[in-house]
A and B are shown apart, each in its own frame.
Chain A
Amino acid sequence: MSLASASLDRAGRPDRGLNADALNADARREAHGLFALLSPGLFLVFAVIIVPVGWLFWLSLFDEAGQLSAANYARFFEQASYIKTFVTTFKVAFFVTGACVLFGYPLAYMLSQLPRRAASICLIFVILPFWTSVLVRTYAWLVILQRKGLVNTWLMDLGVIGQPLPLANNFAGVVIGMTHIMLPFLVLPLYASMKAIDVDCLRAGMNLGASPAATFRQIFFPLSLPGLASGLVIVFVLCLGFFVTPALMGGGKVIMWAMRMEQTTSLYSNWGAGAALGVVLLAVTLALLGLFHWLLGTRVTGVWSRR
């Protein structure tokens, strides 16, 4: 009988038959069964993410003497080193996001215009780095950009420069390395949205006499903006909390938000301060994603399924 009950239940029809009670009980059992399937996963997420993050939030409300206070948050405005960290983080995020748009838009556009077969071959160039360890890619950039690295050696051999350029262990190195890591996060959603643009719209524009450039500017580009915005938000948000590349390529000079959190907790064991940093980071992240959701009415996370 479970089959009949399931279909009735699914249709959402109120059941007033003779065996209504039995059917309702069956539907309830079905719902319980489905919830039982969900519960192990939900429990793990709850235990390992929600509980610790909530706990950190609670910790951030107390000062070192154990008194309830806003001291952990107040110091963000008072201490110059914190302000410097925030400025650096946003600066890196802006530069990396900008570079990703600059490099990612033409690539996504090209991919969307290529025939299917060629596009799927070229996509490998985006997906393979995407699935390669962040550590491996950061190491590669260290090797390429360091003082006696590939770029400097080649440029010096060619006589372009006399002295090695400072490319690694500084701001430039962090931006270059992070751009490489973030690029696929922009290209993949952007490519997907460009693929969804109806070619007939473009053809209509051209039939009506628009030049290729005008068609792009007036039809294609505006239609690609939601995809671009989606990729942009993802990249920016990921940059704000990024740890590995700045920690390895910043040379100790580029201190970003996540590094500051690691230092405060691991080095100085100041859990309240580190937790407060985390709470603000999470708040900024959620605010940006929420703003995006509110403005465009689509979720950003959908993009992840392409990974």
Chain B
Amino acid sequence: MSMENALPISHRQRLWLYALGGLVMLFLIAPSVIIVIMSFSGSSLLEFPPQEWSLRWYESYFGSLEWRDATVVSVKVAVMTAIVATLLGTAAAYAINARTLRLTGLINALLTASLIIPVILIGIGTFFLYARIGLNNTLTGLVIAHTVQALPLVVLTVLSGLRSYDMNQEMVARSLGAGRFSAFFQVTVPQIRFSIVSGALFAFITSFDEVVVSLFISGGETTTLTRRMFNALRDQIDPTIAAISTCLIVLSIVLLSAAQLFGRGR
């Protein structure tokens, strides 16, 4: 550990750098911390630090049918997106990793297209397409749109797992008489399961936090949590959103820690 930093510069000479870096880290983390603290405020003025403490904004969140419905929609869509994107993404990553197919460049470009194409264009385009085939304001439509957004993350995560795995093990299993599928599920999957689970978690959070496309294609009974939050924020700053935001921050922390823990199991 000391070897990698064996430059003859003392920590003292670097104090200014640590101070600067620390300030930027503060800038990055402060908004989340402030929102979490404010969400326990008893007043509707959003003062900081709060003069009195209460859980009223959480009660207002969990007590509201509208917010609860939107949360349920978001959870449903995110779970289904995670499942579909993980299945399709793992299959695609396996095929790409075999490197026997032609047109790999085109395939990669297609699979990662949703990372490059401006999301507003995808939102408008999807709305336009869905209007023709009746998928607007449906769970199916949301899951399909979110799956496309999450797919590149799953492919890249699983691919990095496969790259550090020796595919010959699967070959050995097959030469010993295992079928294609049993070789994959009994030999390969257990060894890349951490990447697959990380990919699934990333897919879940991508779907749960997705705003722009949902703004166009969700509504009515399938209004997602982020769409409702966006509309609420356009009108006024409702402190209930501080409570919802805190829940979302906690969710991010939990999922990231889970991905980290799984990653460490490698």
Contact = CB atoms under 8 A, between A and B. Distances in A.
Real complex partners, A and B? Answer: yes
Interface of A: 2-3, 6-7, 9-10, 27, 30-31, 33-35, 37-38, 40-42, 44-53, 55-56, 103-104, 106-107, 109-111, 113-117, 122, 125-129, 131-144, 146, 148-150, 153, 180, 183-184, 199, 202-203, 206, 212, 240-241, 243-244, 247-248, 258, 261-262, 265-266, 271, 274-275, 278, 281-282, 285-286, 289, 301, 304-305, 307
Nearest to A307: B153
Nearest to A151: B48
A153 B47 contact: yes
B144 A48 contact: yes
A41 B118 contact: no
Q: How large is the interface on B (under 10, 10 to 19, 20 to 34, 35 or more residues)?
A: 35 or more
Contact of B233 (A117, A138, A243, A271): A138
B21 interface: yes
A20 B115 CA distance: 43
A305 B96 CA distance: 15
A278 B126 CA distance: 13
Contacts, number: 279
B28 A305 contact: no
Main secondary structure of the interface of B (DSSP, over half): helix
B100 A10 contact: yes
B79 interface: no
Given A133-B226, A139-B35, A107 B24 contact: yes
Given A113-B14, A135-B233, A199-B6, A56 B155 contact: no
Given A45-B113, A106-B24, A307-B202, A142 B95 contact: no
Interface in B68-83: none
A31 B100 contact: yes
Contacts of A146: 237
Contacts of B164: none
Contact of B252 (A47, A132, A140): A132
A284 B174 CA distance: 49
A38 B120 contact: no
Contacts of B256: 127-128, 131
A117 B1 contact: yes
20 contacts: A2-B174, A37-B95, A38-B107, A42-B110, A48-B129, A56-B128, A113-B17, A122-B21, A125-B29, A128-B29, A129-B29, A134-B211, A140-B35, A142-B233, A243-B212, A248-B234, A261-B121, A304-B153, A305-B156, A307-B153
A148 B237 CA distance: 12
Nearest to B244: A136
B155 A3 contact: no
A27 B1 CA distance: 48
B192 interface: no
B88 A40 contact: yes
A102 B115 CA distance: 25
Given A3-B175, A131-B256, A132-B248, A244 B241 contact: no
A203 B34 contact: no
Q: Which 7 A-B pairs have the closest CB atoms?
A: A52-B125, A241-B118, A110-B21, A140-B31, A258-B120, A305-B156, A133-B209
B20 to A, nearest CB: 4
B116 A49 contact: no
Interface of B: 1-2, 4-9, 13-14, 17-18, 20-21, 24-25, 27-32, 34-35, 38, 45-48, 88-89, 91-92, 94-96, 98-101, 107, 110-122, 124-129, 144-145, 147-148, 151-153, 155-157, 160, 171, 174-175, 180, 202, 205, 208-209, 211-212, 215-216, 226, 229-230, 233-234, 237, 241-242, 245, 248-249, 252-253, 255-256
A114 B147 CA distance: 38
B248 A136 contact: yes
Contact of B27 (A42, A180, A199, A271): A180
B120 A241 contact: yes
Contacts of A301: 112, 115-116
Q: Considering residues B31, B156, B171, which has the most beta carbons from chain A within 10 angstroms of its beta carbon?
A: B31
Contacts of A106: 17, 20-21, 24
B21 A203 contact: no
A37 B92 contact: yes
Nearest to B32: A132
Given A113-B14, A143-B242, A144-B34, A41 B29 contact: no
B231 to A, nearest CB: 10
Contacts of A265: 124, 127
B183 to A, nearest CB: 10
Given A136-B249, A140-B34, A143-B35, 7 more contacts: A132-B248, A133-B248, A138-B233, A140-B31, A144-B31, A206-B8, A281-B120
